[in-house]
Amino acid sequence: MQVCTNSDVFCYFGPAWLINFCFHSDDAGSVAADGNWGAVVGPQGFFWGGTWICVANGTDNASACADIIKQLTCNADIMKDIVTDDDDFVNNQPAMEEMATSDYTSAVLGGMNPLPLYADGAKAIKLEYLTIYDQGCNEEFQKAMKDYFEGTVDKATALSNFADKVKAKYPNLDVSGIKG
């Protein structure tokens, strides 16, 4: 396993898309352009984000839309192209198992193939703790903290705003424990 040793940053924890969409850089001399990042399995399996493919309700192209969605989510060749084109990890286990043993490499990660460790991390994801409230609460927390970090509100106000938004979105949740 390769580990980055010449960076000023100790680590970030994040999903596979963090590599391409957050670390990738074409700037000469940058940590990413020079391939000075490394990746290891983190202490906790998790998932975050992904690509959403949506079709308008009542579309007059239902069969074409269904075929596009099927191809973009089930076609192993397309999944492998996404990996090589975007330095990403996709939700297609057979394709990822094949790519994990291939000669695929990530330039940002100094030429390592991170797919075996991503696959190990995916196996550690525990969905039994996932609730119908997670996405909405996460979105509202990010919005509230953005205001706090931009200095437009203090911490207590940010948390109060978060609690108010969660209560409006999910009236059945008790938000009394959210305090600044």
Beta bridge partners of 106: 112
For residues 85 and 113, membership in a common domain is answered with yes
Q: Is 55 helix (H, G, I), strand (E, B) or coil?
A: coil
Cα(25)–Cα(19) distance, integer angstroms:
10
* Same domain as 111, residue 69: yes
Give CA separation, 52 vs 49, 55, 82, 154, 165, in Å.
9, 10, 14, 34, 24
82 within domain boundaries: yes
Q: Residue 77 has which token pair?
A: 């060749």
Report the number of distinct structural domains present in the chain: 2
pLDDT at 4 exceeding the cut of 60 = no
Kindly state whether residue 163 falls inside one of the protein's structural domains: yes
- 8 A C-beta contact, residue 39 and residue 55: no
| pLDDT exceeds cutoff 60 at 89 | yes
> Exposed/middle/buried for 24, CB within 10 Å: 0-12, 13-18, 19+?
middle
Q: What is the pLDDT of residue 32?
A: 66
Residues 110 and 76 in one domain: yes
Most confident stretch, 33-42, 69-78, 161-170: 161-170
Residues 69 and 93 grouped into a single domain: yes
Question: What sign for the dihedral angle of Cα 150, 154, 156, 161?
Answer: negative
148 falls within a domain: yes
Whether 11 is in a domain gets the answer no
Determine the Cα–Cα distance for residues 79 and 47; give it in Å rounded to an integer.
18
Are residues 156 and 89 both part of a single domain?
A: no
Q: Nearest CA to 72 among 60, 59, 55?
A: 55
- Domain check: are 85 and 42 in the same one? yes
Same-domain status, 22 and 95: yes
Q: Which residue range is the domain that position 161 belongs to?
A: 134-169
pLDDT tier, 40 (very low <50, low <70, confident <90, very high otherwise): confident
Assess contact for 33 and 27: CB atoms under 8 A. yes
Same domain for 55 and 80, yes or no, is yes
Cβ neighbours for 130, distance < 8 A, ≥ 6 positions apart: none
